Structure 1
Amino acid sequence: MKSIRGPHSIKTILSIAIAVVSISFTLLVSAILYTQFSSTIRENATVSTREIVRQVNANLNFYTNDILTIAGYARDLAKQTNDLPRFEIEQRLRSIVDSRQDIVCLVLFNLEGEAVLSTSDAKLRSAKEIKDQTWFTRALGGEGNFYFTGPHVQQLFTSSYPWVITYSQQISYLDEGGETKYGLLAIDMNFWAVSELCQNARLGSTGYVYFIDNNGKIVYHPYQQLINSDLFNEDLDAVQEHIFGTFTNTFEGRERLVIVDTVNNARWRIVGVAYMDELMSGLDQYTSVMFLVLAFCIIITILLSRTVSAYISRPIRELERLMNSVERGDFSSPPTVGGNQEVAALSQTFALMVGRIRQLMDDIVKSQEMKRKFELDALQAKINPHFLYNTLDSVVWMAEQNNTEGVITMITSLAKLFRISISKGRDIITLSEELEHVRNYLIIQQIRYRDKFEFSISMEAGMENLPTIKLIVQPIVENAIYHGIKYLQEMGHIDIKVFKRKPGAVVIEVRDNGVGMDEQKLSNILSYEGPHHKGGAGIGVRNVHQRIQLYYGSDYGLEISSELDEGTLVRLVIPEQVPIHPIKVASS
């Protein structure tokens, strides 16, 4: 398959042209400026550069001393938990953080990685994640030991990822019981607070200042992005050979003046790099004019190349945007794009394909909706006869015992139960109606089993009119009676609770103290391939699980936990939806 070469060829040509102009510019300027060096100018440039680096170092030392002062204040407050409540200590620390834009947060952790004090209300990461971070491990080893990290993405909170430098120190503090504990104090500083100290330092036109740690790794560099992209190199080997002082070297064709100084508190080294050809003065007018002309040519070339490439590639980018929109599922607008003939033809073909896909998807959606409705009706039909058979079996047994009052009570409850079951043909009822339905069922079963169990039903206020598919709780309760409480020697208990679970879910919890089930039965009860328990255990439960998932999706359904001789807990999870009006059913 042939590739489209138009835009790519032009971009390649423009890239080569820019590279040639830039290299020519660098060689020309270097050749002119190298001839103008003199020892006097070199000495003056060295003194000036050294003073700038020392000033940056002094500013950084002042800043780190300020952080140490704040750390000392926090360390003293951590030892006053007997005199001051925790919220007041945190309030004092927050007042410091709020008054300074350079400090992101201050947190005191115990040695297990759990937060003791924090100036932020954001959710922290797990203790294991905290303990595994470099600033935590490097600061361990004795009270007073502290460590400054290099710039990194903050990993303290689950919802915030600023670019920070972390100060960490092992300190002692008093817990709420007055006992002395050891922990790690962490202060996260905005990376820009340190970077501004270097950005304001001017070492010629392209000179710069950067920091390295005691292992020779870069902590801050103004061209860090270019270094990461292998577009810029730094001569770290030469810096490693000079722990402190001044030296000159030639790197990548340019002579450089390098000043190395140490940063006391942070255990870093500050390195100032100035290009000698820029520090030199006395250049003649011709060199200045050529520099301006070459700079102007580069700017014009870059702007021109960007304009031409943007004009050529704009239709393709627009078509790509439409393709991404279709990929995300947006078939609403026809993907037509103007431009040259090739792009227009491709756009028309893509539009025809999208239209066909949209039509096929509509057909599939209609087919799936009909299939789901048929499956719901089939599952509903399987549950109702199963329930009716067991209920009428109980009524027959009561009649054989000549328990007229019990039969009347059971028939009355059965009538109420079936009025809710019919629900005027609707599959959706309110939670209060669903609980009323299962309450009548439990009254019937209580009479049948001669008060072998007792039950309770509770629901959080304001949830009465939330919608649910009907007849999903009764099969769970039926299963609890027949396969759990029925075999107990003591009194059985069935507790039904309805409450909300964030985000946006409703939970109907059915708990019993029956005989429970082993892990094998528990793993098979919701499985479509797993065997049914002897006597029908799991049929109704499995049908309810299928109904919920068919109606609401695979994110909802049943959650079951059980232990032998302890009982079973079943949670029916459905989505929280807009409240509905109860169904008015005429009473007899």
Structure 2
Amino acid sequence: MKRKKQPYSIMTLLTFAIAVVSISFTLLISAILYSQFSSRIKENATVSTREIVRQVNANLSYYTNDILTIATYARDLAKQTNILPREEIENRLRSIVDSRQDIVCLVLFDLGGETLLSTSDAPRRPTEEILGQTWFTRAIGGEGNFYFTGPHVQQLFTSSYPWVITYSQQISYTNKQGELSQGLLLIDMNSWAVSELCQSAKLGSSGYVYFIDNNGKIVYHPYQQLINSNLFNEDIESVQEHIFGTFTNTFEGRERLVIIDTVNNARWRIVGVAYMDELMAGLDQYTTVMLIILAFCIITTILIARTVSAYISRPIKELERLMNSVERGDFSSPPTVGGNQEVAALSQTFAAMVQRIRQLMDDIVKSQEMKRKFELDALQAKINPHFLYNTLDSVVWMAEQNDTSGVITMVTALARLFRISISKGRDIITLGEELEHVRNYLIIQQIRYRDKFQFSIDMEPGVENLPTIKLIVQPIVENAIYHGIKYLQEMGHLDIKVFKKKPGAVIIEIRDNGVGMDEQRLNTILTMSSPSQKNGEGIGVRNVHQRIQLYYGSDYGLEISSELDVGTLVRLVIPEQDPIQPIKVAH
């Protein structure tokens, strides 16, 4: 059969409910805060990165405008070649170049590649090499348009090979005949001038800025040498798809924020690359702190929920404990439980019910005790007439035999026995009186059975006046004679001893050498289910046992031990109480 699931306790349900609601609310607030903070960090990082890229673009634009200003000045001088000597024009241009470390040289060529003006005296390369270079071919035919060619090794002179960025433009100049002719202006700038502008831009710890031209070729990249060595890759394709703006993508396993801006004058695009894990590093710290705070809040919530539920359920558990105690039969005191109003009201109602049940039980117990006492009194009254009938029958028999002394002895013992039995209506007499009553009874029985047994009574000094219920020894002695000694072939012996036993108990021992009892009969003689009840055997013994327990409690009564063909020992255990005075009976 499937076992029924045990219901949960109130404390568990309250703890679970409070914890779930509180933790759910905490998690919801945390999720909202995390989402808001994450969005804000990402937005701020994007804005900050965009501003850095724009600042680099502004610096580069400022620099290119400066180069364009120099180019304008050079164009104006080129138109004055018929007025000013070549040396003076070159000196003016050389003064500009010498004043700036970023400009390598400034040269004016005719369209055939011949040098018209130059700020450098270094030997020039052959004309055919110059005509084939990119910066030359791009500018030819585009009068008025200027071009910036990305970093490359300068191929003008045979004595030096610096990395330069070239500005080239087809312009008009005045020839020796005073006519306008077409030429090509070249300004070579050190590539580090541009790299310094980009290197100063910090996009996290590993972010960077690079330039591409309108054909998608890299003009400048901080990792150019690694790219050339195939040790570093750049995602040019994604940049080509976005002419201007911001986007995020994942390249080589890392999420990147890419910002693209157009460089004024240079027809370049500036690309800023920042890695999201670096930009969102603050979010990781915030997440760690939030998780710690969240864990603390959850633990605190559970502890508070458990405390609150324990406070609410404690009086209910206490009431449950008291109910279980009452269920086990403990009606010692009315249960009272504090707590909230409902539990207190329930406790008061339960206490009133327990008090009423206890009162009813006390009434029932008293009623049963009275009923038992009346039954025992009736049983005792039934036994006494039976004994009186047998005794008088013996007296008649002895009178018929003219046994005058026997008749006198028996009648005298019978009179003394009944005087003690009556005891002026009292149920409590002294042990001395009780044993005197037994002595008279044994004298009568000794005469009736023609000296079939002998008896002895030994009483410890100091116990004569201790109180006892009357007529508790005689039924035991009677049972020993009728069911033990009566069936012996030899002389019977019946010994009675009275003595104190610590703590606070008095023992009355009745020992006989009768036929004894087997174990089954011994175990049932004091119970109502005894088989001996059918023929009346054991009624007197049970009567004594029940009377003692009725008066003194279940700790007292009879203890019986017996062995077949050896005899029986009966011990009456009663409490030791304060001595009383014997009853004075008139003779």
TM-score grouping bracket, smaller chain normalisation: 0.3 to 0.5
Structure of higher CA gyration radius:
2
Q: TM-score, normalised by structure 1?
A: 0.45
Q: TM-score, normalised by structure 2?
A: 0.46
